[in-house]
Structure 1
């Protein structure tokens, strides 16, 4: 009888007692090098011509391979060898429509995860990868082709993208033209592009030009040669479709006026006249926006205005700064309005930012009624109609293209008043006031309604939540928050309200509130989320790409203003550290604006070029006398 060489596993009863007690515990091992070893083994089998079980015939040439390796590599071979097709039983398989060299290149990738491209083989490899469905190789081929892109081969690239149905290649060619538009629009290749393609390019917000005048000239270049334009051999009496895509309202007024005066009656003159009319209606521009008035920019930035700096409470900022999206650091944007301000109500309507009321602290604590509007397209300030009542420690929200300034205080009394601003008529009117006074609260908009949270009433810190419906002009009480606080901030992300920062005296003295609460408007319920890493009282707040930026403010735990920035990711329920502010500051008015491309690209030199323009509406009706605070005990509670 042959000897039995089977190995009998040890019985668990014979294991030491300590190991028996841990026998139910499992542990998983994952090798970091196994995948590479497997690939090396497959290459060794291929180089040794071992275990080949299929032959691919490409351009009448034979390529041997392993069926299982091919099936595991892509959907094309998986369907061929596992989908019930006749190739499942064939040892020799014909592959049509693919070049032999390209197939060898793809097989090298299958076995080694590496592929080498050249100008000689890239198009054939791209065709092969498209047929066999290798997304990685397709993208690499597109990247390789566009690295050689110039105005001489743009048309060929578009044709290749169309033939192979490669939208990613078309997008990359579009990107090249948009980035080099000023030069490309003067080339012969530009004039050979289909009209629909040029319309698409001229409609893009990503078109990189220094001014809209370049777009106007490019529209003419499509129809006429540079020589014809220079010799004024241009007929503008017939409608030219591309001219309808020029954003004439973005041109400066004097440029438009000069062009208008040179033109006889024609469709172009009507377009220019319409743009001049837009310029003349400066007060109403925020509600006259259209695709033709939008900035050609993809840069959405967090922007801060004003604020109060340490160490002196009288040190008030007149600087506006923005977080550079590429450099990830704070840069100067513009100089703010005439008076140095802090704790202003801030709202954005169609990329115009409004700064409403607030604190003018240059001569003691004084509530403001003055209001300003900033247009980042032209770096222009415009003073709008003042509030009917002075508001400090208030909040401002935008709803249905109107602004609402809600409650606060004027340092002689606390307020219930709510004022509504109509940008079309530049006028304020009173709407239904709050039932009780509140100041140092925060506001945000969700699903067509305004919500205000917490705040102060007399000496009491609140955890109330109120909701305003503009359709009924009524306020409604909602579920109280989980913690009382004031001088905090609130933001909307995915229809949820997040209440962040501030302070209270629940411990018997003024302390930071680190607890962050989230309100669900559908269920009228509150939950706690990840707490703040550090205190933020009177911070600036802005939401960019569903992330909440909390800027500076006071920490009562540390008894100082702060320069730190924290960023909350609601999806991950996680706080991250952002770029520090230049100085310790509280009372910032923060928002998100689309800023000019030239500002971002030329950030290093922009501060010397970007001088703001101020416009004051004539006959503004407000009392210029400032009331000084007789609330001495509150003067230091910001």
Structure 2
């Protein structure tokens, strides 16, 4: 990347990886960079209106949504939408609750904002955005309060992985089925992971890095929903938490993790 980014939002859309916001060690960022794996180059794109770290990104039908986040003084409920074709950001309806360190994913026809911290405490609440109504609506809350959690979609369900409560990193994992508006616990991680990066690849969920309460991690584990089991796979090169993980449709090198001080796409599986 052209700039150092900690606690950056990362997403892959149409075979390209977008890195948004974060902190470069001196100040909060609103800038966006796009990585094209075909040219192996990063390109600067339009900046968000609000500089922040700990945002979540989701893509629903093309546009990219930048959700929540925080700076040194404020947890935000701001939501901005990026149009890839016009390279422009616009403001959409804010969330009902400020959420820094929030997790997000697009599921069916909605964008979900899961957990986070409102500036006082970690949250168990969840809300979803309807782009046709330009409105956020509360849904069933999780069983566990958490921020810095990873969120991913698998087989029509939303999975929230790890994170921090107000005291410690978590190993618990919950699954939300929008058809029943119900949360269930599934098998926990093999180790607690706060600030974990999450991606779904080939029918499994991968949890990358994080912090276990004592140290930063370079370990990676994958969840098999058929066996309801997590198992360790090959580690990444560097220990990190708050990194972004994106799945890119380019051969076998599908998982790429970015951020926490790294300056390149640094690890591939």
TM-score normalised by length of structure 2: 0.91
CA RMSD of aligned residues (A): 1.6
For residue 524 of structure 1, the aligned residue among 172, 177, 181 is 181
Shift of 1:586: 1.4
Name the residue aligned to 1:354. 18
Name the residue aligned to 1:390. 51
How many residue pairs match? The answer is 255
Name the residue aligned to 1:340. 4
| Structure-1 separation of matches of 2:172 and 2:210 | 16
Shift of 1:596: 5.8
For residue 87 of structure 2, the aligned residue among 421, 426, 430 is 426
Name the residue aligned to 1:372. 33
Structure 1 residue runs without a partner (length 5+): 1-336, 601-611, 613-638
Shift of 1:417: 0.9
Higher helix share: 1
Contact 1:553-1:561 at 8 Å conserved across structures: yes
1:476 aligns with 2:156: no
| Structure-2 separation of matches of 1:470 and 1:569 | 32
Contact 2:63-2:81 at 8 Å conserved across structures: yes
For residue 595 of structure 1, the aligned residue among 235, 246, 250 is 250
1:586 aligns with 2:250: no
| Structure-2 separation of matches of 1:485 and 1:478 | 16
Deviation readout 1:99-132 (Å, 9 max, x if unpaired): xxxxxxxxxxxxxxxxxxxxxxxxxxxxxxxxxx
What is the DSSP-based 3-state SS (H/G/I as helix, E as strand, rest coil) of the residue aligned with 2:238?
coil
Deviation readout 1:542-595 (Å, 9 max, x if unpaired): 110111111011111xx2101111101112211111101222111221111133
Deviation readout 1:165-215 (Å, 9 max, x if unpaired): xxxxxxxxxxxxxxxxxxxxxxxxxxxxxxxxxxxxxxxxxxxxxxxxxxx
1:399 aligns with 2:60: yes
Contact 1:443-1:490 at 8 Å conserved across structures: yes
Shift of 1:416: 1.2
| Structure-2 separation of matches of 1:343 and 1:549 | 18
Name the residue aligned to 2:259. none
What is the DSSP-based 3-state SS (H/G/I as helix, E as strand, rest coil) of the residue aligned with 1:497?
strand
| Structure-2 separation of matches of 1:571 and 1:393 | 32
Name the residue aligned to 1:534. 191
For residue 220 of structure 2, the aligned residue among 533, 543, 565 is 565
Shift of 1:517: 0.7
Contact 1:441-1:487 at 8 Å conserved across structures: yes
Q: Which consecutive aligned stretches of 4+ in structure 1 deviate over 6 angstroms post-superposition?
A: none
Shift of 1:516: 0.8
Deviation readout 1:422-479 (Å, 9 max, x if unpaired): 0111000000011221111100111021011111112211100101011111100001
| Structure-1 separation of matches of 2:170 and 2:109 | 29
| Structure-2 separation of matches of 1:596 and 1:529 | 30
Task: Map 1:102-113 onto structure 2 (within 5 A).
Answer: none
Contact 1:377-1:596 at 8 Å conserved across structures: no
Contact 1:376-1:596 at 8 Å conserved across structures: no
Higher strand share: 2
Task: Map 1:159-178 onto structure 2 (within 5 A).
Answer: none
Name the residue aligned to 1:7. none
Higher relative contact order (CA 8 A, sep 6+): 2
Shift of 1:494: 0.6
| Structure-2 separation of matches of 1:390 and 1:456 | 17
Aligned CA distance change for structure 1 residues 596 and 522 (closer, same or farther; 3 Å) = closer
1:445 aligns with 2:106: yes
Shift of 1:397: 0.5
Contact 2:2-2:42 at 8 Å conserved across structures: no
Contact 1:342-1:589 at 8 Å conserved across structures: no
What is the DSSP-based 3-state SS (H/G/I as helix, E as strand, rest coil) of the residue aligned with 1:468?
strand
For residue 574 of structure 1, the aligned residue among 225, 229, 242 is 229
Aligned CA distance change for structure 1 residues 512 and 596 (closer, same or farther; 3 Å) = closer
What is the DSSP-based 3-state SS (H/G/I as helix, E as strand, rest coil) of the residue aligned with 1:421?
strand
Contact 2:189-2:230 at 8 Å conserved across structures: yes
TM-score normalised by length of structure 1: 0.39
Task: Map 1:26-175 onto structure 2 (within 5 A).
Answer: none
Deviation readout 1:139-178 (Å, 9 max, x if unpaired): xxxxxxxxxxxxxxxxxxxxxxxxxxxxxxxxxxxxxxxx
Name the residue aligned to 2:207. 550
Larger radius of gyration: 1
What is the DSSP-based 3-state SS (H/G/I as helix, E as strand, rest coil) of the residue aligned with 1:414?
coil
Task: Map 1:181-200 onto structure 2 (within 5 A).
Answer: none
| Structure-1 separation of matches of 2:248 and 2:67 | 23
